[in-house]
């Protein structure tokens, strides 16, 4: 990661430098790293892919043409420059069609100078998803230290899979006393709880449809549902399966599914279908199982009721599964309620909309870098 | 654990959110063969095999399927499109989907294809297929922006057309085509004019479709219904200014000049807005033939741009190139 950062800094220097050929090469590299982010940012304003591609093309042209206006204050200032350029192109696109987009939206303003380091850090942080989620685990669930994987495995085998302690001790070659210590470790318990409660989009859709085949077959199932080929699995119609997969595997909103020409269900039928799916969500059952298996130990109760677990889940559902707030709420609040933790939409809004979760993770990331650097 | 309850500005939050969820859209819907091929093609264009690994890691499409798609796209890219089409005709589903994938929608401008199609009826069914540069050349066009364009190969396919086609449109003999997503090394949008009667392809960038380059379409290159033109003529000096100025000129060319009727419009911008003089007189000349310079006329630039030079002696649509501008500050 460090190497990448230096690479971008070099590219920025070349981009503002005197050699046009170098600037162009650097521009290409910078754009390659930036366009996916801008494209995602534009989805809020431009739902049609064609519009976003038009804006991105225009943004590239303008960013190159007006490159002398760019002031190099690091990679975040580049991101801010590109973002603003893209937003202006969006406004112009709308204007060209006779509509006006609000430019008073605070999200459209320039990123304040003092926040540029946060943005730059986040760019570094999000380059590597595995590392990002590992950091999130460490931050919210706790750093396990050396040999943690083994301890966590013991926790998962015991609490999630219901394996007896004798078998675990035998397989992991630990004595009973050590194993007891591992199983009562609050960090292990939090990680186990998260591992149980985080059900990603694909797993959730598999659960809802009682689908046991490989994921490849899930793709084929979707195609068969779309084309209404053969008989649907028992208990479902093809339009229902198609809608469930779009709704829960690909996190498409009900309105979007309803608007699809091949949907085949009216709005009321979709609402009924998704109510039925929500009633089959596994989260409450999982947390009840966890609470039972954790038993009366206070560390177990703390792991489930503590805000850290829920923040971690919310972060994951938002960043990895791209769920809107209401969907995150549906997948967390009822389970949280079961153990006495009240997770409201207002809380989710505060966590996600104001960047608190993101910023606190970034601060942790910085402290980790500093700590590692001082060693 | 650390907690920090300070908040960020909505502008920063929006961008950070975009970073966190900036997975390509294809990753979420790569289900059909075409989408899988498209994904593989993008990954090849980006020279990024890890995209396939990441997608497979998310269990959305099997690694095997993607690797097969990758191999198939690489193989297609090495083949002439005619062969791929024959494969598709013979029932090769991957070839068919690949052809569908590389057939980009053509944006129909006010002047051009739409009118022609309406006028021409069935006999003038014109299907124009571009093999996108991102797929035809080793380097990507849309993200690549630059040098790759020099080796862009464009194929224009006319289906069910016959030699009398051009004569069937008495009022117009050319089609203006814009290739969505294509741009010149300078980042300008690319325009292509196919002159049907003359078997000539003109490629330009300015609004109004002035062509900087004219490429004859060699009838010997016609393969079946394919008209093939290889465009490798984009000049090496493509990043140099498109007009010559005398040294110390206070203005620069803001965009490519355009010719409308007998009016030549030259968009100019001040090099330094703060030191902008009250007015300048601009004399323009052009070299229509090597070694000779023909005065085009003069115009006054004050507040507004572009300047207009009337009685332009060149033919309408002919881009004045090379263009020499002498600027005199009043």
Q: What is the mean pLDDT of residues A21-44?
A: 84
Q: How far apart are CA B256 and CA B38, in angstroms?
A: 34
- Of A129 and B174, the structure prediction assigns the larger pLDDT to A129
In terms of pLDDT, which residue wins out, A370 or B6? A370
Q: What local confidence, expressed as pLDDT, does residue A277 receive?
A: 96
Contact (CB<8Å) B25/A49 = yes
The CA–CA distances, whole Å, from A138 to A132, A160, A301, B1 equal 10, 20, 20, 9
What ipTM, to 2 d.p.?
0.79
Chain A hits for B187, CB-CB cut-off 8 Å, are 60-61, 64-65
pLDDT digits (tens, 9 = 90+) for A76-94: 889 889 988 998 888 888 8
Q: Using only C-alpha atoms, what is the Rg of chain A?
A: 24
How far apart are the C-alpha atoms of A285 and A275, rounded to whole Å?
17
pLDDT band at B228 (very low <50, low <70, confident <90, very high): very low
* Half-sphere exposure for B10 (CA within 13 Å, toward CB): 7
Whether the per-residue pLDDT at A193 is higher than 90: the answer is yes
With 90 as the cut, is the pLDDT of residue A329 above it?
Answer: yes
If you average pLDDT over each of A138-152, A164-178, B134-148, B247-261, which comes out highest? A138-152
State the pLDDT at residue A204: 94
- State the pLDDT at residue B134: 23
Apex B253 CA angle, B249 and B256, nearest 5: 155
Q: In Å, how far from its chain's centre is CA B226?
A: 20
Q: Do the Cβ atoms of A42 and B164 come closer than 8 Å?
A: no
Tracing tokens 């006028």 back to the chain, one arrives at B119
Residues of B in contact with A102 (CB under 8 A): none
Site from A59, A114, A359 to mutate, B interface, most B CB atoms within 10 angstroms: A359
pLDDT of residue B213: 40
Token representation of residue B228: 């093939």
* pLDDT given at position A316: 93
- Report the gap between the CA of A292 and the closest CA in chain B (Å): 27
Rg, chain B, Cα only:
25
How close B241 comes to chain A (CA, Å)? 12
For strands B243-245 and B323-329, give the pairing. Answer: parallel
Q: In this complex, do A60 and B60 lie within 8 Å of one another by their Cβ atoms?
A: no
Q: Is the pLDDT of residue A284 over 90?
A: yes
- Which pLDDT score, from 0 to 100, does residue A290 have? 92
Cα A185 from chain centre: 27
Query: What's the mean pLDDT in B155-167?
Result: 26
Listed range (A174-183, B179-188, B293-302) with the worst mean pLDDT: B179-188
> Using CB atoms, which residue from A31, A126, A354 is nearest to B8?
A354
- Give the span between the Cα atoms of B56 and B64, in whole angstroms: 9
Query: Taking Cα atoms as reference points, which of A60, A48, A51, A88 lies closest to residue B142?
Result: A60
With CB atoms and an 8 Å threshold, state whether A61 touches B189.
Answer: yes
- Structure tokens given for B107: 């944006």
Share of chain B above pLDDT 90, in %: 0
3-state helix vs strand vs coil in chain B, percent to 5: 30, 25, 45
The predicted pLDDT at position A148 comes to: 85
Band of pLDDT at residue A275, cut at 50, 70 and 90: very high
pLDDT at A140 > cutoff 90: yes
Return the pLDDT at B300. Answer: 76
Q: Quote the pLDDT of residue A283.
A: 96
- The reply to whether residue B60 touches residue A202, judged by beta carbons under 8 angstroms, is yes
Cα B189 from Cα B209, distance rounded (Å): 11
Inter-chain residue contact A222 with B31, CB threshold 8 Å: yes
pLDDT tens-digit map of A221-263: 887 888 888 899 889 999 999 999 988 988 878 887 887 777 8
B122 contacts: CB under 8 Å, gap ≥ 6: none
Per-residue pLDDT, A328 = 95
pLDDT tens column, A197-229: 999 888 899 999 998 877 667 878 887 888 888
CB contact under 8 A, A358 and B187: no
- Asked if A358 and B20 come within 8 Å (Cβ–Cβ), the reply is yes
DSSP characters over A232-298: PPTT--HHHHHHHIIIIIS---HHHHHHSTT----HHHHHHHHHHHHHT-SHHHHHHHHHHHHTT-H
Residues of chain B found within 8 Å of residue A322, distances taken between Cβ atoms: 21, 23, 28
Smallest Cβ–Cβ distance between A123 and the set B10, B19, B32 belongs to: B19
Q: d(Cα B227, Cα B236) in Å, to the nearest integer?
A: 26
The residue written with tokens 């739409």 in the block is B114
Q: Higher-confidence residue: A278 or B36? A: A278
What is the least distance, in Å, from the CA of A24 to any CA of chain B?
8
Who's near B188: CB < 8 A, 6+ residues apart?
A: A61, B205, B206, B255, B256
CB B16 to CB A28 under 8 A?
no
Chain B CB contacts of A318 under 8 Å are 17, 20-21
Helix (H) or strand (E) holding A318: helix A307-319
Q: Mutation test of the interface with chain B: which of A28, A43, A218, A245, choosing the one with the most B Cβ atoms within 10 A?
A: A28
Angle at A53 between CA A51 and CA A57, to 5 degrees: 120
Are B183 and A57 inside 8 Å of each other by CB? yes
Q: What is the pLDDT of residue B6?
A: 64
Mean pLDDT, chain A, integer = 86
Q: Among A142-146, A340-344, B103-107, B259-263, name the one with the lowest average pLDDT.
A: B103-107
Q: Which range is least confidently modeled, A296-300, A353-357, B284-288?
A: B284-288
| Alpha carbon of B145: minimum distance to chain A alpha carbons (Å) | 7
CA distance A313 to A341: 14
More confident of the two residues B204 and B15:
B15
Contacts B207 to A, Cβ<8 Å: none
For residue B146, the chain A residues in CB contact (below 8 A) are 24-25, 28
Q: Which of B7, B20, B146 sits opposite A356 (nearest CB)?
A: B7
Would the pLDDT of B172 be above 50?
no
Confidence of residue B301 (pLDDT cuts 50, 70, 90): confident
* pLDDT given for residue B140 in this prediction: 25
| Digit-coded pLDDT (tens) for B102-116 | 543 322 222 233 333
Interface test with A, best of B8, B10, B12, B43 (most A CBs within 10 A): B12
Residue B85 has pLDDT above 70, yes or no: no
| pLDDT tier, A287 (very low <50, low <70, confident <90, very high otherwise) | very high
- Whether B24 and B15 have beta carbons less than 8 Å apart is answered as no
Which tokens in the block code for residue A220? 């084929």
> Do B15 and A115 make contact, defined as CB atoms within 8 angstroms?
no
Mean of all residue pLDDT scores within chain B? 52
DSSP B163: T
Residues of A in contact with B180 (CB under 8 A): 53
Q: What is the pLDDT, as a whole number, of residue B2?
A: 42
pLDDT tier, B218 (very low <50, low <70, confident <90, very high otherwise): very low
SS3 sequence of A337-367 = HHCCCCCCHHHHHHHHHCCHHHHHHHHHHHH
At residue B63 the predicted structure's pLDDT band, cuts being 50, 70 and 90, is: low
Q: Which of A52 and A13 is assigned the larger pLDDT?
A: A13
pLDDT at A74 exceeding the cut of 80: yes
- Count residue pairs from A and B with Cβ separation < 8 A: 161
Say whether pLDDT at B138 is over 50: no
Task: Band the pLDDT of A272: cuts 50, 70, 90.
Answer: very high
Q: What is the pLDDT of residue B125?
A: 25
Could you tell me which of A206, A196, A139 has the C-alpha nearest to residue A162? A196
How high is the pLDDT of residue A254? 86
For residue A161, what pLDDT is reported?
79
Q: Identify the band that residue B99 occupies on the pLDDT scale cut at 50, 70 and 90.
A: low
Q: What one-character DSSP code corresponds to residue A111?
A: P
Q: pLDDT at residue A269 above 90?
A: yes
Closest alpha carbon within chain B to A106: B10
Phi, psi of A231, deg, nearest 5: -90, 140
Say yes or no to pLDDT of B254 above 90: no
Which residue of A lies nearest to B187 if distances are taken between CA atoms? A61
Mean pLDDT is highest, among A358-367, B63-72, B208-217, B316-325, for A358-367
Q: CA A205 to CA A327: how far, in whole Å?
A: 14
Which are the contacts of A71, defined by CB distance < 8 A and separation ≥ 6? A77
Instruction: Give the residue among A96, A16, A20 at the shortest CA–CA distance from A55.
Output: A96
What pLDDT score was predicted for residue B25? 36
When CB atoms are compared, the residue of B1, B23, B142 closest to A140 is B1
Give me the mean pLDDT over the B132-160 stretch. 26
Judging contacts by C-beta atoms under 8 Å, the chain B residues touching residue A123 are: 19
pLDDT at A6: 58
- Minimum distance, in Å, between the CA of residue A107 and any CA atom of chain B: 4
Most confident range (mean pLDDT) of A50-54, A351-355, B93-97, B131-135 is A351-355
Q: Between residues A323 and B249, which one has the greater pLDDT?
A: A323
């Amino acid at each position: 990661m460090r190497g990448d950062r230096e690479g971008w800094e070099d590219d920025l220097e070349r981009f503002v430098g005197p050699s046009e050929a170098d600037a162009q090469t650097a521009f290409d590299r910078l754009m390659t790293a930036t366009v996916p982010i801008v494209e995602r940012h534009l989805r809020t304003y431009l739902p049609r892919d064609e519009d976003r591609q038009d804006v991105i093309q225009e943004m590239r042209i303008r960013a190159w043409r007006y490159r002398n206006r760019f002031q190099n204050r690091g990679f975040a200032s580049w991101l801010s420059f590109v973002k603003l350029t893209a937003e202006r192109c969006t406004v112009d696109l709308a204007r060209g069609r006779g509509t006006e987009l609000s430019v008073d939206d605070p999200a459209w303003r320039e990123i304040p100078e003092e926040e540029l380091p946060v943005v730059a850090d986040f760019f570094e942080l999000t380059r590597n998803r595995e590392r990002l989620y590992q950091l999130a685990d460490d931050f919210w669930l706790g750093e396990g230290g050396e040999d943690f994987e083994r301890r966590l495995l013991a926790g998962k085998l015991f609490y999630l899979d219901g394996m007896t302690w004798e078998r675990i001790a035998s397989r992991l070659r630990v004595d009973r006393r050590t194993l007891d210590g591992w199983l009562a470790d609050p960090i292990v318990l939090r990680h186990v709880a998260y591992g149980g409660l985080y059900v990603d989009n694909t797993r959730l859709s598999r659960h809802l449809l009682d689908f046991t085949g490989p994921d490849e077959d899930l793709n084929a199932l979707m195609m068969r549902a779309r084309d209404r080929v053969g008989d649907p699995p028992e208990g479902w119609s093809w339009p229902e399966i198609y809608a469930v997969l779009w709704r829960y595997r690909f996190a498409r909103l009900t309105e979007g599914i309803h608007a699809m020409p091949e949907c085949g269900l009216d709005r009321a039928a979709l609402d009924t279908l998704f109510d039925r799916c929500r009633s089959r969500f596994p989260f409450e059952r999982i947390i009840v199982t966890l609470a039972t298996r954790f038993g009366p130990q206070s560390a177990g109760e703390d792991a489930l009721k503590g805000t850290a677990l829920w923040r971690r889940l919310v972060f994951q559902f938002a960043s990895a599964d791209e769920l809107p707030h209401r969907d995150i709420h549906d997948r967390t609040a009822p389970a949280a309620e079961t153990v006495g933790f009240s997770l409201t939409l207002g809380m989710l809004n505060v966590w996600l909309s104001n960047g608190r979760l993101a910023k606190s993770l970034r601060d942790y990331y910085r402290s980790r870098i500093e700590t590692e650097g001082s060693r | 654990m650390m907690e920090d309850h300070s908040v960020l500005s909505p502008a920063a939050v929006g961008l950070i959110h975009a970073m966190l969820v900036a997975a390509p859209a294809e990753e979420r819907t790569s289900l059909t063969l075409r989408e899988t091929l498209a994904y593989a093609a993008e990954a090849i264009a980006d020279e990024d095999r890890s995209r396939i690994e990441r997608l497979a890691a998310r269990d959305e499409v099997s690694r095997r399927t993607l690797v097969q798609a990758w191999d198939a796209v690489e193989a297609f890219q090495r083949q002439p499109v005619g062969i791929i089409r024959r494969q598709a005709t013979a029932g090769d589903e991957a070839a068919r989907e690949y052809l569908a994938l590389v057939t980009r929608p053509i944006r129909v401008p006010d002047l051009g294809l739409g009118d022609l199609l309406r006028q021409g009826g069935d006999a003038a069914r014109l299907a124009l297929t571009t093999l996108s540069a991102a797929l035809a050349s080793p380097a990507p066009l849309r993200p690549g922006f630059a040098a790759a364009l020099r080796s862009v190969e464009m194929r224009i396919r006319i289906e069910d057309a016959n030699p009398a086609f051009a004569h069937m449109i008495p009022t117009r003999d050319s089609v203006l085509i814009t290739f969505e997503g294509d741009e010149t090394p300078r980042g300008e949008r690319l325009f292509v004019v196919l002159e049907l009667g003359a078997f000539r392809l003109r490629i330009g960038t300015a609004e109004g479709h002035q062509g900087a380059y004219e490429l004859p379409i060699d009838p010997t290159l016609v393969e079946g219904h394919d008209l093939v033109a290889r465009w490798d003529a984009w000049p090496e000096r493509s990043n140099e200014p498109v007009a010559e100025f005398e040294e110390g000129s206070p203005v620069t060319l803001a965009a490519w000049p355009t010719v409308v009727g007998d009016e030549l419009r030259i968009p100019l911008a001040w090099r330094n807005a703060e030191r902008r003089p009250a007015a300048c007189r601009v004399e323009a000349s052009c070299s229509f033939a090597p070694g000779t310079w023909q005065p085009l006329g003069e115009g006054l630039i004050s507040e507004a741009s572009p300047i207009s030079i009337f009685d332009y002696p060149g033919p309408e649509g002919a881009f004045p190139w090379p263009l020499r501008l002498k600027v005199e500050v009043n």
